[in-house]
Structure 1
Amino acid sequence: MMKNVLLIYPHCLEERLHDEDASVPPIGLFYLGAVLEAEGRRVDILNTHPVRNHPEIIEKMVAERDPDVIGFCILHANRWPGLEMARLAKRIHPGVPVVFGGIGATFLWEHFLRHFHEIDYAVVGEGELAFPELLRCLERGDKQAVGRIPGVAFREGERIVFNGAGLPVEQLDRLPDPARYFDFQHLTSSRGCPGRCTFCGSPAFWGHKVRFHSPAYFVDQIERLYRRGQRFFYVSDDTFTLRPERVIEICKGILERGLDISWAAICRVKDIHEKLLYWMRKAGCVQISYGVESGSPAIREKLGKKIGQTEIRKAFRLTQAYGILARAYFIYGCPGENADTIQATLDLMDDIKPLSTIFYILDLFPGTALYADYVQRSGVTDDIWLERMEDIMYFETVKDLRPERILEYGRTLRTGFYRRLGGYIRSIELVDLPDLYPHHADFLSRLGMTLSHGDYAGIEEIADKAGLAEFLYRRALDYHADHRAFLGLGVLLQKRGAHREAAGVLEEGTGRFPESESLNVCMGISLMNLGRYGQALPLFLKFPESVQALEYAALCYGALGERSRESDARRRAAGLQSRIS
């Protein structure tokens, strides 16, 4: 029996600016693993992104396992590392079948099998039905039966055999819940997308018909992960809010079960309304990403993005009014891109005032309409992917978009956003609903933290980051006693040398959160800066298992002339540090 299954998610060929999505195994890998586990197989999922620059570690990880079959989850960006790891796997485990699956294998299955003999099989489309059936055929040694499995391709001599596309899973709730077997943060409650974006391969992979998990299944999954300690989730559906009432039912389920979580989602601007946003915020949604793509209606039309300026403005205004950070995805280097269309995107940003943005250069991948158009007008074949590259930039395929101009467009957009961000922040208007006040405080303090300690802290183009952060922390505390706001404001005041004011803010904070180590330590530091060592010392002694608190306690003892206690505190801090190390 093929008892031991190794599923590998290879790292991407190139390092990227925003890798939070690419570095995480796709949820489909966990669903496939759950199906195999439910059949009695042992599944090991290996993600090589954390060790991408250490081939010796990757080789050791593959060698340590004893698989009966190895499956690779192939996108396009990780195609070449996947091929290299397949060769490695064949060298270490020469008799073990290697199977490629995922969106990359779905659109390039013939290319892979024709050119790379380290690949034995390719699964085309969803794998939960085809892959287990392949394993059952291999266990029986029935190669002829493999040729009858929908969605499986393989070589037979020099001939490639393929019995047509695999069957989609129509009833998603019939799939075993992967949360029973694995830990993960990226969730999906549906499959499919009714959109026809020319740059996206998702509809061609999943289909235009959208299939849904029931709210109960989805909330059960969240609860299983929550009970094991997971508190933050990414909802990665292409069309999470396509059925708003279903999303509201999910949100009510999260609240009814007392799941104190935060989560981010990807939504369509067309679906957004106030009731939906209210329940999403109540249930812990802190960020929604919208695919805006461009401020130019003509470019959005060419990208197949059927949304209007009014819908975009409404979605961003309402999302941020309910205390949810609205992030905008933009694509540049598109058909017809020029200085005027870039200015149109900047103008749209001024209208919608996003608090986070991601800018991508338009690239081409198999399975998309833009790639099909490129093949038709250029005459290239899929053999172009024999080159060691992740993707093809659209501007490389046309004459009127020069690389240096595209790079300049990107700089213009990013710099324009950062220079405008302060104005966007100061213009935030929140709905006046008292039961959302704690959520408003959370929203404002989270945003403040990105400026004082997080993603925006090191970006020079954002002016007066400390002033913006202070504005947000104070506004948060006007709504509710927020732990993050007390701490952030206290630290900012300390950095400014306003130690007396910092002590006052932190005293109120420790009164609200008396067991908070961070607030007590920060308060103690303010008192030390005021020369009040005797008052600071008890705040540090509340945390005898904290290295940081003991080190500050030692400083207080030293300032108070208590040398033996100072030495004892330093010894205890050193002992704790050695245990941690």
Structure 2
Amino acid sequence: MKILLISANRERSPYPVFPIGLAYLAPPLAADGHELRALDLCFSADPEAAVTALLADFAPHAVVISVRNVDNVTWPGSRSYLAGVRGVVALCRGKVPTIIGGSGFSLMPAELLEHLDGDFGVVGEGEEILPELIRRLERGEDAAGLPGVVTRGSAGFAHPLPVERIGTPDRSLFAVERYRREGGMANLQTKRGCPFACVYCTYPLLEGRRVRLRPVGEIVAELKELEALHGIDYVYFVDDIFNYPPDFASELCAAMTAAGVTLNWSAFVNPGFVTPRLMEQMVAAGCDAVEYGTDSGSPAMLANLGKSFTVADIREASRVCRELGVDFAHYILFGGPGESRETVRESFALMDEVAPTAVIAMTGIRIFPGTPLHDRAVVEGMVPGNAALLEPVFYLSPQIREELRDLVTAEAMQRRNWVAPGLEINMSDAMLEAMRHFPVRGPLWKLMKRLGRSRVNPFSSR
């Protein structure tokens, strides 16, 4: 069969993200003998024209559409991506079977399949189940009952099965060089699954709680290929937590160093599993920046958010970075259960103390079905129990809901290293475009220390 793979993501802020999910699907589909073509709408000036032209020129027998995110999970400047995806599906409807998947789709699959009006949906990891779905379509057989497959009009679906053997993505169908040039880096995954219990997090829903590791040799080979074939000189590890399990992270860093991997990289890191020895290994392997999923500087809020570490861990992890000269950012989530003026100020005080390169602050927490935060929001009457939540709804602590925006804005505007995307503090789409012209690889927040005291005042246009 001829299969068209469409990446529906058009978001380019803070930088375009390579469609690694579709790249993982390419090898198993190619192994079944299918002819593949890819369409990445991230760089398309006219997405509808691009889809229409490729449907005519390639004449696929099936279309697979990947939905990375349903919205930008940013309050108060939230924007939904669903209208754009629905438009893509509409162009395919009636011409060819349309299969929708991806991390965004998998969060609310039955509701999204109906809303987007697709034919089939694949929930969770698709490397094993998508080829089986395609085989059934080829044979004209019913797809109902396949694990993780949603069909139009179905009342439910069988629970998806985790992929036991995570392979290597095939990037050859996509413009890797353009992502390197405009995004500053490539992305790479070393594991799947998250055993932690953050109350808002969807990783356990998407990948399960059991950690499944890729063979270290295959990861190193992928890094070497990115260097040799695509000229990649910076990688971001997209694992939910790079440094867990710690022994695996240590083994991988040692293998990268031994193999002579020369590119630089950054990753999302848990402060509770940072040690001087591991960070030294990371630096030796090319790490020049880390991002901490800190969420709060308040002990009470760390507990309320289900975090696995303490304020002492945050202090120690920050100290290790400073001593080794590693740029680091703390991500803070304001407005969760129990947030108050006192806990907000505790977060600002701790960030002042640990002095990161940047603080990325989000106000409000996007509520997704299946999370403990959703359960709490239902009990507290924030959302109805049967709400689809296709449009973004945010948890905002009742104790501080009315003043959260003004309080965070007033405090963040006094600090040069704070970025608050939803509030447009020290960051805007225009600034992001300008920053891409700097000769920087990796996260744009690394430039904060070079930008001085420039400001974007969120109240200037009010």
SS in 2 for 1:160: coil
Deviation at 1:400? 4.2
**For the residues of structure 1 that align with 2:148 and 2:25, how far apart are their CA atoms?**
14
* Comparing 55-64 and 365-374, the one that deviates more: 55-64
C-alpha distance 269-399 of structure 1, shift in aligned 2 (>3 A) = closer
CA–CA distance in 2 between the matches of 1:170 and 1:127?
12
**Count of residues in correspondence between the two structures:** 413
Question: CA shift at 1:139, angstroms?
Answer: 0.3
Q: Which has the higher helix share?
A: 1
For 2:151, the equivalent position in structure 1 comes to 154
CA displacement 1:217-257 (0-9 Å, x = unmatched): 11011111111111110001112211333223322322333
Larger radius of gyration: 1
Question: Structure 1 pair 247/332, CA: closer, same or farther in 2 (3 Å)?
Answer: same
Aligned counterparts, 1:313-392, within 5 A: 313-361=315-363, 362-378=365-381, 380-381=384-385, 383-385=387-389, 389=391, 391-392=392-393
Aligned to 1:543: none
**What is the aligned partner in structure 1 of residue 182 from structure 2?**
none
CA–CA distance in structure 2, aligned partners of residues 11 and 325 of structure 1: 29
Offset at 1:357?
1.8
- Mark the CA change 1:57 to 1:408 in structure 2 (over 3 Å): closer, same or farther: farther
CA contact (8 A) 2:341 2:400 kept: no
Which position in structure 2 is the counterpart of 1:89? 92
Aligned equivalent of 1:191: 192
Match status 1:11 vs 2:10: yes
2:60 & 2:453 partners in 1: Cα distance?
A: 46
Within the candidate set 28, 33, 39, 2:26 is matched to 33
TM-fit CA distance, 1:350: 2.0
Q: Aligned to 1:249, what secondary structure does the other structure show? A: helix
Q: CA deviation at 1:382?
A: 5.2
User: Which one is further off, 130-139 or 94-103?
Assistant: 94-103
* Structural RMSD (CA): 3.0
Identify which range, 49-58 or 308-317, moves more after superposition. 49-58
Name the residue aligned to 2:406: 408
Query: Which residue matches 1:431?
Result: none
CA 1:332–1:64: 2 relative to 1, 3 Å: farther
* Structure 2, unaligned runs of 5 or more: 72-80, 180-185, 420-438, 457-462
Using the TM superposition, give the Cα deviation of residue 63 of structure 1 relative to its aligned residue in structure 2, in angstroms: 5.4
Equivalent position amino acid for 2:368 in 1: F
1:424-435 counterparts in 2 under 5 A? none
Question: Which TM-score applies when normalising by structure 2?
Answer: 0.81
Distance 1:300 1:322 in 2: 26
Distance across 2 between alignment mates of 1:180 and 1:131: 20
Instruction: Give % identity.
Output: 27
The 2-side partners of 1:452 and 1:119 are apart by 41
| Residue number among 164, 171, 192 corresponding to 1:170 in the alignment | 164
Distance 1:420 1:107 in 2: 30
Alpha-carbon distance between aligned partners in 1 of 2:65 and 2:259, rounded to the nearest angstrom: 37
* Counterparts in 2 of 1:141 and 1:420: CA distance versus 1, 3 Å: closer
Aligned-partner residue type, residue 225 of structure 2: R
Q: Which residue of 2 aligns with 1:560?
A: none
Residue in 1 aligned with 2:138? 139
- Cα distance, 1:281 vs. partner? 0.7
Q: CA deviation at 1:322?
A: 1.5
Q: CA deviation at 1:371?
A: 2.0
Change (3 A) 1:115 1:231: closer
Cα distance in 2 for partners of 1:314, 1:110 equals 44
| Partners of 2:343 and 2:45 in 1: CA distance | 37
Please list, as runs of the form range in 1=range in 2, the aligned pairs for 1:251-266 lying within 5 A after superposition: 251-266=253-268
Shift of residue 37, structure 1, vs aligned partner: 2.2
SS of match in other structure, 1:418 = coil
Q: 59-68 or 262-271, which moves further after superposition?
A: 59-68
Deviation of the 1:152 alpha carbon: 0.7
Aligned position for 2:430: none
Q: In 2 relative to 1, CA 104–401 (structure 1 residues): closer, same or farther, beyond 3 Å?
A: same
Distance 1:76 1:453, change over 3 A: closer
How many Å apart are 1:307 and its aligned residue?
1.3
The one-letter code matched in structure 2 to 1:101 is: G
State the alpha-carbon separation in 2 of the partners of residues 34 and 108 from structure 1. 26
Q: Distance in 2 between matches of 1:79 and 1:223?
A: 37
Return the letter of the residue paired with 1:95: K
Deviation of residue 384 (structure 1)? 4.4
Q: CA deviation at 1:367?
A: 3.5
Distance 1:27 1:203 in 2: 19
1:105 aligns with 2:101: no
- The code of the aligned residue for 1:380 comes to P
Q: 1:456 to 1:314 in 2, by over 3 A?
A: same
Aligned to 2:278: 276
Moved more, 223-232 or 44-53: 44-53
Change over 3 Å in CA distance of 1:170–1:284 after alignment to 2: same
Distance 1:114 1:55, change over 3 A: closer
Which residue identity does 1:30 align to in structure 2? A
TM-score by length of 1: 0.65
SS at match of 1:178: coil
Q: For residues 453 and 60 of structure 2, what CA distance do their matches in structure 1 show?
A: 46
Question: What is the distance in 1 between the residues matched to 2:147 and 2:293?
Answer: 34
**Separation in 2 of the partners of 1:140 and 1:67?**
16
Contact 1:281 1:323 (C-alpha < 8 Å) held by counterparts: no
Question: 1 or 2 for the larger relative contact order (CA 8 Å, sep ≥6)?
Answer: 2
Deviation at 1:162, TM superposition (A): 4.3
Which deviates more, 66-75 or 203-212? 66-75
Partner SS, residue 81 of structure 1:
helix
